[in-house]
Structure formats: C-alpha cells, structure tokens
Amino acid sequence: MQFNWQSSFFRGVALELWRRVIPPEMTEAEVDFLERTFRADAGSQFLDVPCGAGRHALELARRGYRITGVDSSEESIAQARAASESVQWVLRDMCDLPWESEFSGAYCFGNSFGYLDRRKAARFLAAVARGLKPGARFIVDTGMAAESILPSIGVKRWYRAGDIFMLSENRYHPADGRLDIEYTFIHQGEVDMRPSSSYVFTVAEICRMHQEAGLETVELLASTAGEAYQVGAPRLILVTEKRQPD
C-alpha cells in the first residue's frame, strides 16, 4: 500500500461519487443526532474533523453554531470555502490539531477513523481530547469496526451512481488488521484506479484507545436513530465524553 494514499485519493471522480450517494435527508438526520447528543447551547463551537466538503458543518452553521472544519484534501476545502465563509475551514492533517479546551463538541464521520493505524489513532484522539472542554462530547462514526466489516466482507463489489461505476476489490491482512481496497472508477469513458487502506479494530480496542486519550465511553450505537450497537451492524457510532479534571 502506498504511503499516505489519502493525498491522491480524495479528488475528482471519488469526491463526485461521494456527493451523489449522500441524500440531503441523511445529512439532516445526522445533524439532528449531533445536536441531541452534544446537548450544547446555541452558538456553541464544534469541531468537524475531517470535514470533507463540509456537509455537516454547513448545516450546523446554518442552525447557528460556530464550526471549525479540518481536512487535508485541498479540493474538499476549496469546495467548502466556496459554499460558505461562515465556517472556519482549515487545511490540515487530522492528527495535527492545535487547539486546547476550545470546543463544546467534536465529531469524526464517514469512516475516516479507519484510515489511521494504532499510532496515528492515538495521536488523533489525544489531539481531539486536548481541543475539547471538560465534559464535552466526541462522536466517531465508522464502518470499519471488526464486528461490522468482517462478518460481511466480500472480495469484489460493484456500485453505480448515475453514470459513475465503481468496482471495489478487497484484501484483508489478518496479521496487520488492515483492509486494502483497490477502487476502479469508470466515468465518461475514463478508467481511474485508486488504492486505499483502512485499519480494522474491535469495538473494545476502539473504546480503549478513546479511554487512554481521556475520553470515556457514553454510548455504543448502530444508527443516528439510537439503536444499540450489536455484531453485524453496518456502522458503529461511538459517543465519548472528555473526563472532568480531578
């Protein structure tokens, strides 16, 4: 797997496919969930990391919250800035966050947590925890928990969104806990192949990593509707809370 594959993956046709498959209703439901879970006052400041093109950040800002969105994709940040200047958009590595006790809540949606190996995940969680106020909540949404991805993993899968076709070919490495996926995009006669890699942790490991960063588990959910997480659920939504100082 190439080093830092994200730097070349999140551009062009891959971003266009992602934009097409997420309906506005899904974003609204997820933002409703964030509001309920954060229990924050109007005007509170939240961190979206990584934010992509800002679909959650833009809706939260529309509802009156102050948002900082961080992403390492220049194309995504440019699109987000073009959409609105009401959000503080920051082009930055998700593991390199400079803030301290600034945010009333933070969230990481869209499988991005799985892009990090154990060392980088520890850096990321420590940086998020440092940026949160005591008692503030952090929400991770991922489909890469072992109990979610491994029971249903296949070798190949086709997907279509309008005139974009995508083939994903999976190769799981048990010794490393790593899932390599080769994506082939076909759009307007162009064929574009891009590799990706995600790390697969058990739910217990993910909770333990958060705890080591000072983030205590509040809930394990399978959806924004509040269903409890169980083996085979396609996504894990982990809600944690920054420990109060002794």
pLDDT of residue 135: 96
pLDDT of residue 7: 74
pLDDT of residue 211: 98
pLDDT of residue 3: 60
Radius of gyration of the chain (CA): 18
Single-letter amino acid code for the residue at 48 = D
* H/E stretch holding 147: helix 146-149
pLDDT of residue 15: 84
pTM for this predicted structure:
0.92
pLDDT of residue 110: 87
Angle at 128 (CA atoms; ends 125, 133), nearest 5 degrees: 130
Q: What is the pLDDT along the chain (246 residues), one digit of tens a residue?
A: 446 787 788 888 888 888 888 889 999 999 999 999 999 888 999 999 999 999 999 999 999 999 999 999 998 999 999 999 999 999 999 999 999 999 999 999 988 999 999 999 999 999 999 999 999 999 999 999 999 999 988 889 998 999 999 999 999 999 999 999 999 999 999 999 999 999 999 999 999 999 999 999 999 999 999 999 999 999 999 999 998 887
Give the DSSP letter of residue 48. E
Q: How many alpha carbons fall within 13 Å on the CB side of residue 239?
A: 22
Domains of the chain, start order? 6-144+202-242 (3.40.50.150), 148-198 (2.20.25)
pLDDT of residue 42: 86
